Structure 1
């Protein structure tokens, strides 16, 4: 599973949701969905804008975690 560590990078950059949403050009609701790992997908255009705003690489935000670590009982 892919985990979005947006909250970690935002904390490192001392940037809040409202400021980042303004810089990226997406709604607070959509940014919150990303931040809380509720997103099913993210557009590359959005990822590009987030990386530009935070001065980071996609790998600083996205992380692969083996699905077995989710506690699915297997």
Structure 2
């Protein structure tokens, strides 16, 4: 299962999974996870998928450059 970290709220990490935001207890999320990371559920713990996160960041950067072209 994959998701994107939206934000941290108190004892929860809000992760968008399949287009819906879900509150996941922080203890179920790797401490290194940050907002914007693509995460995967592995062995009952959400961890960052480095390759998918980098790909998403690059895609967003390209889209922003297209929008702001002169």
TM (norm. structure 2) is 0.33
The higher radius of gyration belongs to 2
Q: Greater helix share, 1 or 2?
A: 1
Q: Greater strand share, 1 or 2?
A: 2
TM (norm. structure 1) is 0.32
Structure with more contact order per residue of length (Cα contacts < 8 Å, sep ≥ 6) = 1
